[in-house]
Amino acid sequence: MNGLRATLARIATTDKRAEAAARARQAVLTKPAGSLGDLEELSIRIAGIQGRADPCVDPGVIFVMAGDHGVCAEGVSAYPSDVTAEMVINFTRGGAAINVLGRQAGARVVVADVGVAYDFEASLPIYHKKIAGGTRNMAVERAMTREEAVRSLEAGIEVFEAEMAASSFGISATGDMGIGNTTASTAMASAFLGLSVRALVGRGTGIGDEALDRKIGVIEKALALHRPDPADPIGVLSMVGGYEIGALSGVILASAAHHVPVLIDGYISGAAALIAKALSPLSADYMIGAHLSGDSGHGLMLENLGLKPLLRLGMRLGEGTGAALAMILCSSACRLLNEMATFESAGVSVKQ
């Protein structure tokens, strides 16, 4: 637990002086005050996170964590578990949505196996951090042990720090791949938010009415069986979570520890952020809400996290796709702050 403990200890408040300097610069750029809307506040937040008045997020890194879910045995997903491994291979070949958007954003897409039910070739260009070949079925037993939950968090921290050591970056983004992980995320959100499963559940990759009822029943059964305590986030993760979700929580905590803004993608990343915030309330100051997912219940998670999403495009793919688009907007916000002329430098008249 050393890696996790050290990371939590390192998370500090953001830099108010850098924020104030960025805010002062926004006021003298050649535009009416406030006319860049949410991009102005975004640039100021990133300045505070990075501790510099001229923040820069380029390049970014998108961390896609992959794992399988034993609860798929209950028939909660529209796709077979095999798809998790097949998509990991698709990621390495550049054919997935996140590869396309990562290329557009000029970001590195980093993939890690933390719990996929498939033995990848050791030569596959991913981080090999498998904790187990999928979680156990939460409807009948704990998804993982407490020790495995901690290991999943530390796997995320390790991947983040290895990537940072390889080459620096200015922003991180969370992405997930794991058939069945909206089921785990809904159970986690219900535990943290104290809301009913029905208020939070969605159709994931696109299940019908019958499967949706089954999914709700399975999650309710798991919650009744384990009674997860929101004051014990490691307990929640181990009872009803997923390895890739824990690893994403680790990525978020490591981002906060290293003063890197972290874009929270969609529904699964939201569940990971709930764990991170429960372990370190300060970590929420480093999070940026990427988008409002098409999955119902996501808005309630964002509200609990205190995040306002940058995009509302009805996306519900995961992989970090919403975060990749939002990363481009974060870059816009920083570029505007850094590159725009001031009223004085451009010789433009000020407000009457």
Binding mask 284-303 for its own copies (x = CB under 8 A): ----------x---------
Exactly one of 83, 164, 193, 195 binds its own copies (CB under 8 A); that residue is 83
- Rule CB under 8 A: which of 238-257 touch its own copies? none
Alpha-carbon Rg for the chain in angstroms: 20
Burial class (CB in 10 A: 0-12, 13-18, 19+), 83: middle
Cβ contacts of residue 213 below 8 Å, gap of 6+? none
Determine the Cα–Cα distance for residues 269 and 289; give it in Å rounded to an integer.
10
Cβ contacts of residue 22 below 8 Å, gap of 6+? 43, 44, 47, 48, 53, 55, 337
> Which lies closer to its own copies via its Cβ, residue 32 or residue 194?
32
**Do 195 and 189 contact (CB within 8 A), yes or no?**
yes
For residue 130, give the nearest of 152, 100, 104 by alpha carbon: 152
Q: Judged by CB under 8 A, does residue 87 bind its own copies?
A: yes
> Which lies closer to its own copies via its Cβ, residue 215 or residue 277?
215
Q: Judged by CB under 8 A, does residue 349 bind its own copies?
A: yes
Residue 34: CB minimum distance to its own copies, A = 7
For 208, other C-beta atoms within 10 Å of its C-beta total 10
Exactly one of 316, 320, 323, 330 binds its own copies (CB under 8 A); that residue is 316
Residue 107: CB minimum distance to its own copies, A = 13
SS3 call for 303: helix
Determine the Cα–Cα distance for residues 184 and 228; give it in Å rounded to an integer.
12
User: Binding segment for its own copies among 6-14, 119-127, 143-151, 328-336 (CB under 8 A)?
Assistant: 328-336
Q: What is the DSSP string of 67-107?
A: E--GGGGG---SS-THHHHHHHHHHHHT-SHHHHHHHHHT-
For residue 316, give the nearest of 44, 78, 3 by alpha carbon: 78
User: Binding segment for its own copies among 4-12, 152-160, 267-275, 316-324 (CB under 8 A)?
Assistant: 316-324
- Rule CB under 8 A: which of 198-217 touch its own copies? 205-206
Q: Judged by CB under 8 A, does residue 352 bind its own copies?
A: yes
- Rule CB under 8 A: which of 35-54 touch its own copies? 35-39
Residue 340: CB minimum distance to its own copies, A = 6
Give the bridge partners for 229, in sequence order. none
Residue 352: CB minimum distance to its own copies, A = 6
Residue 171: CB minimum distance to its own copies, A = 15
> Which lies closer to its own copies via its Cβ, residue 186 or residue 238?
186
Catalytic residue among 220, 319, 339, 344: 319
Q: Judged by CB under 8 A, does residue 93 bind its own copies?
A: yes
Residue 298: CB minimum distance to its own copies, A = 12
Determine the Cα–Cα distance for residues 222 and 142; give it in Å rounded to an integer.
9
**Do 160 and 6 contact (CB within 8 A), yes or no?**
no
SS3 call for 147: helix
Q: Is 319 a catalytic residue?
A: yes
Exactly one of 28, 54, 90, 282 binds its own copies (CB under 8 A); that residue is 90
Instruction: Tokens for 45, please give them.
Output: 């937040």
Binding footprint of its own copies on the chain (CB under 8 A)? 29-39, 77-80, 82-83, 86-87, 89-90, 93, 95-97, 99-101, 103-104, 205-206, 294, 310-317, 321, 325, 328-329, 331-332, 335-336, 339-341, 345-352
